[in-house]
A = this chain, B = another copy of it.
C-alpha cells in the first residue's frame, strides 16, 4: 500500500467542479489541462507544488508590501495548491506528507490576513491536540453571541479546504470552526481513522461553548463527503448540536469495493493498517451510522448528487430509514456528482441558508 505506483492520470483526478468551487483559479485548471493534453511527463504533484511556490512568493511579497488582503489570498491559493498536489497521493506517502505539511504551514500564514481572520486553536484531547480555525462574522454585532457552524472534512478534504464555505457562513452571520479529526489532514499523523470521531467533535463543542462570542444554543455541524457520515454521527452523540448537515450521503462504507480505485486506496490508507483486508474490515466497522442513527434528534439536511461515483443512492435510502427521530430533509440533485461539486454555486449557498435558518430557529 505504501509502494509508489505510476502517476494517476490527470483526467481521473482533475475534478474541475470541486477544485474551482474550493478556490483553485481557473487559469491553473487550464494549465493542468494543457499538461495533460500535450502528453508531457510532468506529474500532478510537481505541477501543483510549483503553483504553491508561485503563490507563496506572491503572497510573501504582498504582505511585505503591506497588502495583507492580497497576501492572505495568495498564501491561501498556495495552501490550496499544495492541498490538491497531495489529495490523491496515497500511493506515495512521503510526498503526500510533504504536501500535507506544506498546506498546513501556508494556510497558517494566510489565516491572520483574511478579511475575517482565522484564529488557529488547538484543542487538547488525550495525548493529542485537535487543530482548527475559528472565524467570527463581524465586526462584533450588538445582539450578542453569534451562532457557529462546525465544519468537518472528509477522506481527503481538510479544514483548509473549507475557506470559501466559511465565507458563505460568515456572510450569513454565523461563526465557523473547521477542524481536522482522526485520519484527516495534519491530525492523520497522530490519529488514524477510527470509530470515535464524535469524541473529537464533542471536544470542539466543549471549547466553543466556553467562548463568549459563541451562542452555545446555536451550534450546528456540517460535514462533507465522508464528513457526511461524521456530522450526523457527531449529532447523534452530542445533543448540543442544534442542526446537522450531511453534504453527501455516507451512511456506511458498503460501497467500498465499487469506488474509484484512488478513492478506495485512500480509505484503506487513512486507517494506517497495512493489511488491506484488515483495513477494509476496520473501515466497515468504524463507518456505520446504523447503531447510532436513531439518536439523532436535531433537524438534519442530507444533500446528495444522483451521479455520485463514490456513494450510491442506496446510501440516501439508509439515511431515510435510519434517522427515525430527526426532522430529516433530503435534497437529491439529479445532475449532481459527488457532493454536487459540479453545481457548487447552487448547492453551497443553499446549505449555508439552511444552516442559518435552523440555528436562528434555535435562538
Beta-carbon contact of A69 and B27 below 8 Å: no
Chain A 75-91 per-residue mask, 1 if CB under 8 angstroms from chain B, else 0: 00100000000000000
Cα distance, A66 to B360, chains bound together (Å): 12
Cα distance, A263 to B172, chains bound together (Å): 41
Beta-carbon contact of B345 and A69 below 8 Å: no
Chain B residues with CB under 8 Å of A67's CB are 349, 353
Chain B residues with CB under 8 Å of A30's CB are 16
Beta-carbon contact of A349 and B27 below 8 Å: no
Counted per complex, copies of this chain come to 2
Q: A115-B171, A139-B139 are in contact. Are A353 and B26 (CB under 8 A)?
A: no
Q: A115-B171, A139-B139 are in contact. Are A349 and B17 (CB under 8 A)?
A: no
Beta-carbon contact of A345 and B25 below 8 Å: yes
Cα distance, A16 to B20, chains bound together (Å): 13
Within A10-43, the residues touching B (CB, 8 Å) are 16-17, 20, 25-27, 30
Q: Which residue on chain B has the smallest CB distance to residue A67? A: B353
Chain B residues with CB under 8 Å of A20's CB are 26
Interface size on A, residues (CB 8 A): 29
Asked if A162 CB lies within 8 Å of chain B CBs, one says no
Beta-carbon contact of B349 and A70 below 8 Å: yes
Beta-carbon contact of B70 and A353 below 8 Å: yes
Chain B residues with CB under 8 Å of A171's CB are 69, 115
Asked if A207 CB lies within 8 Å of chain B CBs, one says no
Beta-carbon contact of A350 and B26 below 8 Å: no
Contact among B26, B62, B139, B343 with A27 in the assembled complex (CB-CB below 8 Å): B343
Beta-carbon contact of B27 and A345 below 8 Å: yes
Asked if A73 CB lies within 8 Å of chain B CBs, one says yes
Cα distance, A171 to B171, chains bound together (Å): 13
Chain A 51-78 per-residue mask, 1 if CB under 8 angstroms from chain B, else 0: 0000000100010011101100100010
Chain B residues with CB under 8 Å of A172's CB are 69
Asked if A342 CB lies within 8 Å of chain B CBs, one says yes
Chain B residues with CB under 8 Å of A25's CB are 345
Chain A 339-351 per-residue mask, 1 if CB under 8 angstroms from chain B, else 0: 0001101100110
Chain B residues with CB under 8 Å of A353's CB are 62, 65, 67, 69-70
Q: Which residues of A contact B (CB under 8 A)?
A: 16-17, 20, 25-27, 30, 58, 62, 65-67, 69-70, 73, 77, 115, 139, 171-172, 342-343, 345-346, 349-350, 352-353, 357
14 pairs of residues in contact across A and B, judged by CB atoms under 8 Å:
A16-B26, A16-B30, A25-B345, A62-B353, A65-B353, A67-B349, A67-B353, A69-B353, A70-B350, A70-B352, A73-B349, A77-B345, A115-B171, A139-B139
